[in-house]
Structure 1
Amino acid sequence: MGNSLSSELQKKQSKRRLASAAALVMKVIYPDGRMEEYYGESLTAEKALEGSSGCCVCSADEMRLAARPPTLSDGDELRRGQLYFVLPAAATRRPLTLPDLCRLAVMADAAMRRSILRELAGRRRRNGVVNGHRKYN
C-alpha cells in the first residue's frame, strides 16, 4: 500500500513538473511539419522566421474559423507556453476554413508526437535502453 501511495505522489509531481516546463517553452511549427521548441530565451517573430521567406508567424490561440489568421509583426515577442504556426503569407490573406484548422491541428499533433518520441528515445539511450533492449557493459 505504501508503494502505491508513493507511486501516485511521484506521478502527481511529474505532471506538475511537465506543466511548469510546458509553460516555459515556445513551440513553433513550420510549413514542412517540423516543430522547434525555444526555452528560456526571448524570441521575436523575425527570429522565428529565419529561413522561412514569404511566411508569417501566427499564434494558434488567435486563429478563428472564417477569419484571417492574425500575424505577428517582426518585432513582436513570442509568449512562453504558446503554440505558433509559420504560415505562407498567402494563407494569411484569406479566412481560415474548417479543413484549414483541421490540417493545422493534425500537423501540430504529429509534430508534438515526434517530439515526445525523440525525447523518450533520448532518455532510453541515456538509461542504456535502445529499441526496447537494455545494454549491459
Structure 2
Amino acid sequence: MGMCVSSESPTRKQNDLKSSPTAKRSVVVIDLDGHLQEFNNPIRACHVLSKNQNGFLCSSETLNVGTRAEMVTDEEELVPGNIYFLMPLSKSDSLLTLEELCYMAIKASKVLTISSFVTVAGN
C-alpha cells in the first residue's frame, strides 16, 4: 500500500481556489493562522512584509512537496489573481511536506470560501 502524489497538474481544490471570485480580482495573502489580507491594487511584497517582519511571502504557484518555499523578493509586485502565503522565517530552510501543503490548502480554502460568501452577501 502506498500513496501517490503528483506535483505536475493542479488538483481540483487548487483550481477551485484560483477560480474564487475573491482570488480573481485581488492579491490574496494568507498567513498560517488562516488570516486573509486582500489588496485590490498592485502592491509590492515589501509593503506586506513591513507589517510582518518575522515572515516571508511565497506564491502558491511555487509550492511543491519536498522543496523549499521560494521566497518572493521584497521589490516584487504581487500579482492579482495569485494566492500568497505568509510563512514564518523559521520555515525558510525547511523542505515542505505533504502534510504542510495540505494544511495550507485547507486554510486557504476556508478563508477564501468565507471571503467569497461575505463578498457575495455584501453586494
TM-score (norm 1): 0.69
In 2, the alpha carbon distance for the partners of 1:43 and 1:66 equals 29
Work out the percentage of aligned pairs sharing the same amino acid: 27
Three-state SS of the structure 2 residue aligned to 1:69 is coil
Give the unaligned 5+ runs of structure 2: 1-18
In 1, the alpha carbon distance for the partners of 2:22 and 2:85 equals 20
1:5-39 alpha-carbon deviations (Å, 9 max, x no partner)? xxxxxxxxxxxxx8897544211112321111211
Q: How does 1:106-125 map to 2 (within 5 A)?
A: 106-123=106-123
In 2, the alpha carbon distance for the partners of 1:101 and 1:30 equals 13
Deviation >3 Å, runs of 4+: 18-24
- Tell me: CA distance 1:61–1:20, structure 2 relative to 1, closer, same or farther (3 Å): same
| Mapped pair 1:62 → 2:62 | yes
In 2, the alpha carbon distance for the partners of 1:27 and 1:33 equals 12
Structure label with greater radius of gyration: 1
Counterpart AA for 1:89: L
* Contact kept in structure 1, 2:22 and 2:115, CA below 8 Å: no
Three-state SS of the structure 2 residue aligned to 1:86 is strand
- Tell me: CA distance 1:22–1:33, structure 2 relative to 1, closer, same or farther (3 Å): closer
1:29-86 alpha-carbon deviations (Å, 9 max, x no partner)? 12321111211x2211111123212100000000111000000111111112111000
Counterpart AA for 2:34: G
**Alignment-derived partner of residue 97 in structure 2:** 97
Pairs aligned (count): 105
Give the unaligned 5+ runs of structure 1: 1-17, 124-137
In 2, the alpha carbon distance for the partners of 1:26 and 1:43 equals 8
Cα RMSD for the two superposed structures: 2.1
In 1, the alpha carbon distance for the partners of 2:106 and 2:75 equals 29
TM-score (norm 2): 0.76
* Contact kept in structure 1, 2:20 and 2:116, CA below 8 Å: no
Task: From the two aligned structures, give the one with the greater helix fraction.
Answer: 1
Query: Which protein, 1 or 2, shows the higher relative CO under an 8 Å CA cutoff with sep ≥ 6?
Result: 2
